[in-house]
Structure 1
Amino acid sequence: MQYHGMWSDQTPATRAKVLDQLVANGSEWVRIDVSWAMIEPKHQQYDMRWGVPFVDTVLQEVEDRGLKAMVTFWLTPDWASYGKGERYAPRYPTAYGRAAGWAAKRWGNTVDAWEMWNEQNHPDFFTTADPVAYTKMLCSAYKEIKKVDTSPVVYGGLQYNDAAFVKKTYTAGAKGCFDILATHPYSAPSDFSPTRDGGAPWGVTRVRDVRAVMVAQGDAAKPIWFTELGWSTGQIPNPQPWQRAVSEATQADFLEQTVALTRSSYPYVKGIIWFRERDRTGGNPYEDGYGLMRADLTPKPALARLKAVASS
């Protein structure tokens, strides 16, 4: 489950309740976003007063419940982007690698996988969406993490199944710099079922396009994970095709169908992270409505369905 335990709207009490519900309903992993900018606000000066201890606390809460943690390590400090912003690549990719290695040394005992950035193929999350810049960061991080931790390094989750971006990163030297490749195979239109092919690059079925690139590059043995996937139940008036919500019952059905489809047709996909643990109250019902729990932490039908498919 995507778990926003680091976000400011979470309290110790809500974090505890969310994690307890996830454990009770069959979740085995949580995906947590950790900000490089937060833990290293100044060059080689880590925030030991608040930022680093906060990560310590959240990861310990996860470990105490027997859950495995995937950390998505992203967001560039101002000093490393030279004032361009958190979603720019650092001027020197080795700075990202060094910070990832520092994180792995500190949290390697509680983190079970390291995901390098989030949706780096889209300018909303990686401003230039530059495959060469990303590859340099990925390879630097892989080298530094492996010096101190044996946990898998994950090629950051791509927005949709962007096979063209994957191919460009291979050309730039990505082979040998990751253990798992991740995609975010949301459906488009957003109310399509997981079995319905929306055309490249959208939807679960198009993972085959990314797989084909990996096979062609000699990486057939490496698994793919879906590190974000879900359907929103937040209805809005006159939605665009990418804003179509589903009912709570359909959300649960689509979760079950996704697992069944992945198991039967895509055995190389070894993990699914559902987006996300709870609804938010940000003011956009569609964007807020992806949770398997409502904002008040009462479960939607999909949470119980998660337990059923996990136990099967």
Structure 2
Amino acid sequence: MLAALVLGALAFIAGSIGGDGRAPAPVVLPAVPASAPPLNVGLVANSLGVRGNHRAAEQARVRTAGVRWIREELPWNMVEPWRGARRWQRTDELFVSAARRGLRVLPLLLGSPRWAAGDDLSLPANPDDFGAFAARAAARYGPGGSFWRAHPRLDARLAPVWFELWNEPYLEAFSVGGVDPARYGRMVRSALTAGRGANPRVRWLMAADLVYETPDGTRADWLDALMADDPGLLASVDGFAVHPYSFFAPGEEDDTSPPFRFARVGTIADELAARGASRQPLWITELGWSTCDRRPDCVDEHEQARRLALAFTQVRTTYARRVRALFVYHLRDFPNRAESDREAHYGLLRTNGSRKPAWSIVRAAAQAASR
């Protein structure tokens, strides 16, 4: 009953947030089915790059939104700038601050040191170097890890169980020098082998999508390319990280551009099942709509809230059996950026800290998911 009341409030918020005299169409969100699995609601906060009291304040804002998960980069190039280095101080500070605020961290392992690759967003030449880093991260921050033993006053139940292996390797922005599914697959395989040996309680998320762009500019199947090099890889991982960004509102999409529809969550699940990976959960580790002033790339603030409400509805109903988490991108807009900069305006908070209407949507969805 409480879940129904919270979702009813969410529907009211989504239907009454208009401030320009033109309220968006109401969003009717059904009660969470009693049989629906729990949903982890999180935010991408990037608080690692914020120091001291400012980081604490930023993480406190996450809790004010009712959210108990944050996705944070755990940069390999920061921890191991030269081979054999172990520089955990800043990431330790992140975990201390998050734990003191009751937040669970989803660590994103990302960023190659220059000794391992030509660019920090290039996939490393030797996948085993990445696997060794993943193992050290799991041994330190995973359940029972050395970090938690060294900080007995922190709640060790907040130790991350799930770790995400790289960000969007199917895009050249995060595979500088060329997208290489086989190399990424070898990185994942190495992380699974070394990571499970270092901490068997840790679970690993692999990046999944439908297509990637080949060097000649054509599109190819991402999952098939992974399996071509390692046929058992998809069935070996513990879960899949997906980023179903869309130019449309969930449930209101047309069929003109399937790769850029929220509905590809279901398509990815079906494609994975057809390849022997039917039981692993999907984690939506990024999703959002930008409120920049460029159209049609971005939406206004009211539409951002409405689309997030629709996304939560879809996840709790249509995709409830497969999706276990939804992390909204991003906590706040980036400062000192142009109004036309799409990447800078995904935030739930404006640069001055004031709340966009989407803040209330995420807060209500988090409250409903925790019941």
TM-score of the aligned structures, taking structure 1 as reference length: 0.89
- 1:89-104 aligned at under 5 Å gives the runs 89-104=123-138
SS at 1:147's partner residue?
helix
SS at match of 1:273: strand
Report how far residue 13 of structure 1 moved: 2.7
CA shift at 1:26, angstroms? 1.8
Report the equivalent of 1:228: 286
Deviation, 1:299, is 1.9
Measured against aligned partners, the alpha-carbon deviations of 1:105-146 in whole angstroms (never above 9, x if no partner) come to 111143332100001001111122111000000010111111
Following superposition, the deviation at residue 247 of structure 1 comes to: 1.8
Q: Unpaired segments of 5 or more residues in structure 2? A: 1-42, 144-158, 213-219
Aligned to 2:4: none
Q: C-alpha offsets along residues 157-194 of structure 1, whole Å, 9 cap, x if unaligned?
A: 65x77692122213322234421111111112xxx212
In 1, the alpha carbon distance for the partners of 2:366 and 2:101 equals 17
The corresponding residue for 2:153 is none
Which amino acid in structure 2 is aligned with residue 288 of structure 1? A
Provide the alpha-carbon RMSD of the alignment.
Answer: 1.8
Q: Name the residue aligned to 2:160.
A: 111
* Cα 1:266/1:24, change in 2 over 3 Å: same
1:294 and 1:12 map into 2 onto residues whose CA distance is 21
Greater C-alpha radius of gyration:
2
1:117 and 1:157 in contact (8 A); partners too: no
CA distance in 2, matches of 1:283, 1:25: 24
8 A contact 1:232–1:290 mirrored in 2 = yes
Q: Answer whether contact 2:234 2:272 (CA < 8 A) is retained.
A: no
Partner residue, 1:37: 77
Q: Is the 8 A contact 1:80 1:92 kept in 2?
A: yes
Counterpart pick for 1:56 among 92, 106, 125:
92
Q: How does 1:1-312 map to 2 (within 5 A)?
A: 1-7=43-49, 10-47=50-87, 52-81=88-117, 84-109=118-143, 110-127=159-176, 128-149=178-199, 150-156=201-207, 158=209, 164-173=221-230, 174-188=233-247, 192-198=248-254, 199-236=257-294, 239=295, 241=296, 244-267=297-320, 268-285=322-339, 286-312=342-368
CA distance in 1, matches of 2:353, 2:96: 21
Shift of 1:282: 4.5
Range that drifts further, 271-280 or 146-155: 146-155
Contact 2:239 2:282 in 1 (8 A): yes
> How much does 1:92 deviate?
1.1
Residue aligned with 2:286, SS: coil
Q: Aligned pair in 2 of structure 1 residues 132, 161: CA closer, same or farther (>3 Å)?
A: closer
Query: Take 1:276 and 1:284, find their aligned partners in 2: how far apart are those partners?
Result: 17
Residue identity opposite 1:125 in structure 2: F
Greater Cα offset, 282-291 or 300-309: 282-291
Superposition deviation, residue 156 in structure 1: 2.9
Q: Is the contact made by 1:233 and 1:245 (CA closer than 8 Å) also made in structure 2? A: yes
Q: AA paired with 1:184?
A: H
Worse-matched range after superposition: 270-279 or 201-210? 201-210
* CA distance, structure 1, for counterparts of residue 324 and residue 160 of structure 2: 18
Give the Cα–Cα distance (whole angstroms) in 2 for the partners of residues 309 and 99 of structure 1: 35
Deviation, structure 1 residue 98: 0.3
The answer to whether the 8 Å contact 1:200/1:206 transfers is: yes
Q: Deviations over 1:270-309 (max 9, x none)?
A: 1101001111124233221101111222222211221112
* Cα distance in 1, alignment partners of residues 338 and 237 from structure 2: 35
Q: What's the % identity of the aligned pairs? A: 27
Residues 166 and 157 of structure 1: is their aligned pair in 2 closer, same or farther, counting only changes over 3 Å? closer
Q: Aligned partners of 2:74, 2:193: CA distance in 1, in Å?
A: 19
Whose RCO is larger (CA < 8 A, sep 6+)?
Answer: 2
CA offsets per residue over residues 37-91 of structure 1, 9 Å max, x none? 11101111223xxxx101000111112222211111011111112xx21122222
- Aligned-partner Cα distance in 2 for 1:264–1:26: 21
Q: TM-score of the superposition, structure 2-length normalised?
A: 0.75
